[in-house]
Every structure is written in structure tokens, then in C-alpha cells.
Amino acid sequence: MNTAFQSCSADELTKKASEARRIILETVHYANAGHVGGPLSAIDMLIALYFSVMNINPDDPQWEDRDRFVLSKGHSAVALYTALALRGYFPLEELKTFDHIDSRLQAHPDMKLLPGLDMSSGSLGLGISTAVGLALGAKLKHQTFYTYCMIGDGESQEGQVWEAADVASKYKLNNLIAFLDYNKLQQYGWKGTDREREVPVTAPELRWEAFGWNVISIDGHDMAQILDACAQAKTVADRPTVIIAHTLKGKGVSFMENNYLWHAKVPDADELNRAIHEIEAEG
Amino acid sequence: MTSMLSEKQAAMRDVFGDVLLELSKADPRVLALDGDLANSTKLDKVAEHNPSQFLQMGIAEQNMLSVAAGLAAVGFQPWTCSFAAFISKRAIDQIQVNVAQPKLDVKMVGAYSGLLTGCTGKTHQALEDIAMMRSLAHMVVLAPADGIEVRRVMEFAHQYNGPVYIRLARDPLPYLFDDSHTFTLGKGVQVKSGSHVTIISTGTETVRALQAAELLEGEGIRAAVLHMPSIKPIDHEAIIRAAETTGAIVTAEEHSIIGGLGSAVAEVLVENRPVPMRRVGVRDLNAESGSNEALLKKFGIAPEHIAEAVREVLARKV
Ligand SMILES: Cc1ncc(C[n+]2csc(CCOP(=O)(O)OP(=O)(O)O)c2C)c(N)n1
């Protein structure tokens, strides 16, 4: 069973991502809580995964052979929820409960509450290890599903990321494909020279290569490149792949782009309108 | 609003940032170490106004605590700060081996403790930090109740040579104390007198304990409130005295009932003066995202819950 929308063209996916951007901003505004910068930088990849790349079935979210996804940078939950809702895992209307008491849509993903979630996250640095576990488990059980994971560049300061990287290449996990959302900003970070806050991770390509991974660098907002990178990753026989996705924090909204202050700031009504206007003009 | 609680509010994190900036300016040994949360925890006040004593350690709490140990071993006084969940749970081995066992002069500040961490849910709530920190030998564990006490506790920690964990809260709280307030390690503070029962509380829960005492006043129940800013060491004498004079104890904390203030008080009572007792805290549950009001209600630590525990314990009083 392959229920991925293999027929989705890059253009259709780009349109979807632009719709998702609007929903992310509306959801955060409505909840008056949540993150925006990271979700907007991650959403193109999530849309590509959930609408084209992953072998999944929204009607049977616990299907044993489905591909798995771990959002290691769990604070971008609103982006993942938006992709899941658009793909039909739950009604879009439910996004209104984001971050509320008794909601399945917790501020950070909770796999015990929402069937579409393959792993809980929110404490940074843990997710990539759980993805290694899922991929290793698939090998041990002779299952053929892929495990995808998304980590943040700031998050990559956690030593555990590199402990996971090491084990993954030792076990030759070619069924593990990680995305690094390389937006070059974190929450506060280091005071920079050329702009307000500096690149937190230096030379990720070299680092991952040193840990024995297959490395592909792309523009993380270019659908064709995202799809292509995933296809390439699947041809590698003996190593896990990391897709270093060069992205913009706050992508799609001029006054949020590349501004660390929008890491977790809620847009007010005026900012929301201006943002949606820009997104719709682009899309 | 009552006599005891001031209309004036302060967020502990703002006071924390201001006081650490002052301490760092007055003492070149003081360093502020950040885990990429300075604009949430207000450590950014040091980053902006005294940048040479601010060190960004990135999102790497375990490393931050071990680095702090190294800095302390060459004569600095590092103040490490993150969300309470990450500084305690995440780095506990580093704290034990590098900081607590050698008794190095490292301060650990958990800025968003307890249940009310601002719509973040269970990964960011710290309901076990008191239990974990208090179990480490040599560790001092402090939980101030208002802005004034944050300042006093920090002044104490600065003077004290050894590991100190300070538990702070995210949101503004009313003032309980005025400038004349003092802090003494290992001493409780009687914030309300009463003869029927003593509510022993700590940190943010002391405000709610006072609100509970007021609810009970209307029913003719006179509850004393004993605030414990120093959870370790804890005030044995005051606990035993409270048991002797009021004959019933309720503890209240924004923390799990397992291993926190309630456990510490129970340990003292059971070895000295057992009396009927009840613990108010989160009852062996993971919490979730939600508004402050909804969380306090659902997880059982609102003033009404403290009042209810008092009624129950009084029914058992001999
Ligand atoms: C262990 C841990 N430490 C700190 C945090 C708080 N925190 C949440 S997001 C964030 C910054 C993340 O930066 P990055 O990984 O670059 O994510 P992005 O920029 O894509 O949002 C921090 C410090 C956390 N969630 N977990």
C-alpha cells in the first residue's frame, strides 16, 4: 500500500506550503502562544514529506509499515500539526485547540494523544536518537519503512545529536533520512558581526560527513530540490543521509524573515493581516 | 485582594536579571552562563549591560554545567541558568559529579519551574526538580515566594561558597514581603498565624496557601501559613513546633507530591512528631499545555485544593 500523493507536482506542493503558512500564523495568533520562525522555515519540507515523499495512510495512522517522522525540533509542532491536518489526519478546525488544556495538539508533540505522531519531543537533542531507534528497529524486524527526522541547527549544539549521528553510521542506517533545518538562527544565540545574531552551527556539511553520513545540501524552500534530495537519499546503500536544508527563519513574511525576535512571538491582528497578505501575494 | 498580598506584582525572572547584573558588576568572579534562553530567563540583562561576564553556552545544558564546574575550580562563581526542567533533569549527572560531589561554587537557576511555564506542556514543566536536586549531597535548594525574596536568596547564594539551586517562576506574582524581609538558610517564615492547622508551603504556592487560608477564615478555620524558602536544609524546629501547636499539617507546592517539600516535611514529622498530614501537589501525573487557571485547576494545586486538604486533615485531627 502506498498512499503517498506521488502525483503531486512541485508547484502544487509549493501552493500547499503557502496555504500552510497562512494556517500556522492564524493558529498561533488564535492560541496567543507558540512559535512562528521555526515553523515557517520547516513547513516546505513537512509538506513535501506528508504530501509526496512519505509512504503513509492518514486513514490508518498506526499502519505498521508506514514511514515514520520525528520532529526533533519539537517547538515547531504547529507546522507539523498543520501538515497533518491538511493531509487529513484530523479536521482543520481542531487546530483551534492548539495549546489548550485537554487538547491533542500540545505545545510540543505528544505521541500518546495524537495518532499521527510517531514520537514525542520538545526537549531538544533527543529526537534524532529516537529516529535512530526507529530505523534500527526496522532493520532488526526486517521492515522496509523509512524514518525521517528534522533537527534544528541550534538544537545541534546538544551533544546527544552527535552520539546519535555516530551510532547511525556505525549501523549503516540507510533507512534514516534527516533534515537539518539550517536557518542559522536559534532563540538567543551569539551576538554576531554582520547581523544581530550569528550562525549557531559552523560547517554542518563537514561535521556530518565526518560522522560518516551521506550529505546533500539544498535550498530548503525549493520543492523540486527537496523531492530530489529525498529520491537521491534512497539510492544510498550503506549510510544514513542528512539533507542540509538552507532555510530562512520566518520564511515568507518579510518582517519575520531572518529575525531572531520572531522565534516565538505571537503576531497581533495587524501583523497577521500583513503577513497573510504577503504570503498570498507570493503564492 | 487582601491585607497580606500586595497589589504590586513582579516577575521573578525580571528581578533575577536585575540582581544578577548588579552582582556581576560588583564582583568580577560572577559569570552568567546561558543555555540559549537569555531573552526568556532575563539573563539578557547581563548580556546587554555587562557582556564581558556573560557566556553563551548554546543549547547544551550538560556541557554548560560541567564547564561551570571548571570555571568554579579556577575561582569564578558561575551562575548557570535555563528552564528548570532542563537545568535539573537534563544535567543531573553533570551536576552531581562535577558540581555537588566536589562542592564547587556553582549556582543553578531554574527559571521556569513548576506547572506554569507558559503554554509549553509537559516537556517544559519541572515537577521533579526539587526532588532531584534535594537528593544530591551538598546541594542547597531554595524556592523564593516573591520578587523581594528572589533578591534576598540571590544575595545569600552569592555569599555562600557551594552549590545552590534556585527555583524561580515565569509569571508575575504579588509581593508578600517588603524591603525589610530577610532570608536565613534553613529557616522558615511564618507568614500567617493560626491555631487549627499549619499550611507549609514553598515558592509560588505560598501565595495560593495564603489565599486558601483566607477562604478557610470565612468558615471559622484558622490556618497558619509557614513559608519555606529553604527546602534543603529545611527548618526542623519550625515544622516540629507547627505540629505541636496546631496538631495538623498540610503541605503545598507547585511540584510533584513525590520527593518535594511535602516529602521533606513528612520525613521530619515521622521521625519527630507524627500528626495528621496531607500533601497538596501534582499527584504522580504528567501535566500538559494550557492556561495557568486551567492547569492549576486540573492538576489540583489551586487555593481551593489546599482548602479542601485542610478540611480533610482537620477531620482526622485527634
Ligand atoms: C533541551 C532544551 N533546551 C532548551 C530548549 C528551549 N528552546 C526551544 S527552541 C530553542 C531554540 C532552537 O533553535 P533551533 O534548533 O535552531 O530551532 P529553529 O531556529 O529552527 O526554531 C530553545 C533554546 C528546549 N526546548 N530544550
Domain CATH code at residue B50: 3.40.50.970
Same domain, yes or no, for B17 and B154? yes
pLDDT of residue B5: 75
pLDDT of residue B6: 77
Domain that holds residue B252: 189-315
Residues A125, A62: contact at Cβ < 8 Å? Answer: no
For residue A154 and ligand 1, the question of a CB distance below 6 A is answered with: yes
B31-70 residues touching A, CB cutoff 8 A: 34, 36-40, 44, 47, 51, 56, 58-60, 62-63
User: Which of B121, B146, B174 is the last residue before a domain boundary?
Assistant: B174
Same domain, yes or no, for B170 and B193? no
The closest CB to that of A107, out of B85, B121, B298, belongs to B121
Among A35, A121, A123, A124, residue to substitute to test ligand 1 (most atoms within 8 Å of Cβ): A124
Q: In B193-224, which positions are buried (b, 16+ CB within 10 angstroms) versus exposed (e)?
A: ebebbbbbbbbbbbbbbbbbbbbbeeeebebb
Mean pLDDT for back-to-back runs of 10 residues, chain A (283 residues): 68 97 98 97 98 97 97 98 98 98 97 97 97 98 98 97 98 98 94 68 91 98 98 98 98 96 96 97 84
Q: How far apart are the first and last CA of chain A?
A: 32
| Residue B229 located in a structural domain | yes
pLDDT of residue B111: 96
pLDDT tens digits, A203-221:
999 999 999 999 999 999 9
For residue B112 and ligand 1, the question of a CB distance below 6 A is answered with: no
Beta-carbon separation of A106 and B51 below 8 A: no
Same domain, yes or no, for B170 and B21? yes
Residues B244, B273: contact at Cβ < 8 Å? Answer: yes
**Touching check for A155 and chain B: CB below 8 Å?**
yes
For residue B252 and ligand 1, the question of a CB distance below 6 A is answered with: no
Written as one letter, the residue type at A243 is I
For residue B90 and ligand 1, the question of a CB distance below 6 A is answered with: yes
Kindly tell me if the per-residue pLDDT of B141 is higher than 60.
yes
> How confident is residue B243, by pLDDT bands cut at 50, 70 and 90?
very high
Beta-carbon separation of A188 and B36 below 8 A: yes
Same domain, yes or no, for B144 and B21? yes
| Residue B296 located in a structural domain | yes
CATH of the domain at B199: 3.40.50.920
pLDDT tens digits, B87-125:
999 999 999 999 999 999 999 999 999 999 998 999 999
**What total number of domains does chain B contain?**
2
Between CA B236 and CA B217 the distance in angstroms is 27
User: Which of B174, B206, B222 is the last residue before a domain boundary?
Assistant: B174
pLDDT tens digits, A83-99:
999 999 999 999 999 99
For residue A217 and ligand 1, the question of a CB distance below 6 A is answered with: no
Cell 495528621 sits at which residue?
A: B276
Please tell me the distance in Å from A7's CA to the nearest CA on chain B.
37
The DSSP call for residue A126 is -
Burial status of residue B36 (CB atoms within 10 A of its CB: 0-12, 13-18, 19 or more): buried
> What's the angle, vertex CA B173, arms to CA B170 and CA B178, rounded to 5?
130
Between CA B45 and CA B281 the distance in angstroms is 33
Q: Which residues of A touch B86 (CB under 8 A)?
A: 123
The answer to whether ipTM exceeds 0.85 is yes
Q: Which residues of B touch A158 (CB under 8 A)?
A: 59-60
What share of residues in chain B are helix, strand, coil (percent, to 5)? 40, 20, 40
Same domain, yes or no, for B229 and B262? yes
Compute, in angstroms, the gap from residue B199 CA to the centroid of ligand 1.
38
Please tell me the distance in Å from A99's CA to the nearest CA on chain B.
5
Stretch B61-67: mean pLDDT: 98
Q: In A255-267, which positions are buried (b, 16+ CB within 10 angstroms) versus exposed (e)?
A: ebbbbbebbbbbb
pLDDT tens digits, B269-281:
999 999 999 999 9
Between CA B147 and CA B173 the distance in angstroms is 8
For residue A247 and ligand 1, the question of a CB distance below 6 A is answered with: no
pLDDT of residue A193: 57
pLDDT of residue A192: 74
Q: Where are the beta strands (DSSP E) in B68-128?
A: 77-82, 107-110
Residue among B36, B57, B87 with most chain A CBs within 10 A, to mutate? B36
pLDDT of residue B7: 78
Same domain, yes or no, for B36 and B162? yes
Stretch B229-245: mean pLDDT: 98
Same domain, yes or no, for B158 and B230? no
Same domain, yes or no, for B302 and B244? yes
The closest CB to that of B121, out of A108, A125, A188, belongs to A108
User: Which of B174, B209, B243 is the last residue before a domain boundary?
Assistant: B174
Beta-carbon separation of B121 and A103 below 8 A: no
Kindly tell me if the per-residue pLDDT of B2 is higher than 50.
no
Same domain, yes or no, for B160 and B212? no
pLDDT of residue A8: 87
Which residue of chain B has the CA closest to A190? B56
For residue B89 and ligand 1, the question of a CB distance below 6 A is answered with: no
Three cell numbers written together for B286: 504528567
Q: Which domains does chain A have, with CATH numbers?
A: 10-282 (3.40.50.970)
Q: Which residues of B touch A185 (CB under 8 A)?
A: none
pLDDT of residue A194: 57
Compute, in angstroms, the gap from residue B26 CA to the centroid of ligand 1.
32
Between CA B122 and CA B289 the distance in angstroms is 7
Q: Where are the alpha helices (DSSP H) in A32-158?
A: 37-48, 77-86, 127-140
**Touching check for B118 and chain A: CB below 8 Å?**
yes
Stretch B25-50: mean pLDDT: 97
| Residue B223 located in a structural domain | yes
pLDDT of residue B120: 95
For residue A249 and ligand 1, the question of a CB distance below 6 A is answered with: yes
| Residue B4 located in a structural domain | no
Between CA B17 and CA B168 the distance in angstroms is 12
> How confident is residue B10, by pLDDT bands cut at 50, 70 and 90?
confident
**Touching check for A67 and chain B: CB below 8 Å?**
no
Same domain, yes or no, for B271 and B208? yes
Between CA B305 and CA B310 the distance in angstroms is 9
pLDDT tens digits, B157-172:
999 999 999 999 999 9
Stretch B202-207: mean pLDDT: 98
Same domain, yes or no, for B56 and B139? yes
Between CA B195 and CA B67 the distance in angstroms is 50
Kindly tell me if the per-residue pLDDT of B216 is higher than 60.
yes
Between CA A28 and CA B259 the distance in angstroms is 36
Query: pLDDT > 90: what percent of chain B?
Result: 96
Compute, in angstroms, the gap from residue B116 CA to the centroid of ligand 1.
19
Same domain, yes or no, for B144 and B204? no
Beta-carbon separation of A34 and B58 below 8 A: no
Kindly tell me if the per-residue pLDDT of B237 is higher than 50.
yes
Stretch B259-284: mean pLDDT: 98
For residue B59 and ligand 1, the question of a CB distance below 6 A is answered with: yes
Beta-carbon separation of A101 and B123 below 8 A: no
